[in-house]
Amino acid sequence: MEQQLKKIHLGIKRLQDLHQNSLVEIEKLKAENSLLKEQVSKGKEDLTSLNEKLLLDGITNKSATGDVEKKQMKLKINELVREVDKCIALLNQ
């Protein structure tokens, strides 16, 4: 009888240790998941920014012939993009 109680006690202790190890592992995975989500979000922002830049460069290079015209068009397009971003931010609030 006492032998069985010792086995049960050891089994419970082992389960407690496994549970504690699982909790630690879960916290590590949650932190890693959070970090990866941040990286994905930043990557999406970078991609959007690059796409906007490529679009801007393509539009200005095709339609403007002089350097001054290109700069003015880029400034105007950047201004419009900022306004659109502000509108989106207001809609998201």
What integer pLDDT is reported at residue 14 of this predicted model?
96
Q: What is the DSSP string of the chain?
A: -HHHHHHHHHHHHHHHHHHHHHHHHHHHHHHHHHHHHHHHHHHHHHHHHHHHHHHHHHHHHHH--SHHHHHHHHHHHHHHHHHHHHHHHHHH-
Task: Confirm whether pTM is higher than 0.95.
Answer: no
Neighbours of 77 (CB within 10 A): 16
Q: Which two structure tokens, joined as six digits, stand for 93?
A: 């609030």
Least confident window among 3-7, 47-51, 66-70, 74-78 = 66-70
Taking 90 as the threshold, does the pLDDT of residue 20 lie above it? yes
User: Hey, where are the domains in the chain?
Assistant: 2-92
What integer pLDDT is reported at residue 64 of this predicted model?
55
